[in-house]
Amino acid sequence: MSVYLASFLGFVVVVVLMVIVVEVAEKYKKEIPNKEKKDNRKKRRHSR
């Protein structure tokens, strides 16, 4: 039972974190549109 419980709790935690990250990201984009340009430059460097 402990293995199933641990895996279930881990899955729930991951889902909750994803939801929180999405909500924070949306608020961050709305509040600071100027910072997106800098972030995009960094993403391009890391992608290569």
Give DSSP secondary structure letters for the chain.
-HHHHHHHHHHHHHHHHHHHHHHHHHHHHHH-STHHHHHHHHHHHHH-
- Identify the pLDDT of residue 26: 86
- Identify the pLDDT of residue 18: 96
16 φ/ψ angles, rounded to the nearest 5 degrees? -60, -45
- pLDDT beyond 60 at 48: no
The whole-angstrom separation of Cα 46 and Cα 13 is: 27
- pLDDT single digits (tens) 7-39: 999 999 999 999 999 999 888 777 655 555 665
- Identify the pLDDT of residue 27: 82
What mean pLDDT comes out for the span 4-8? 90
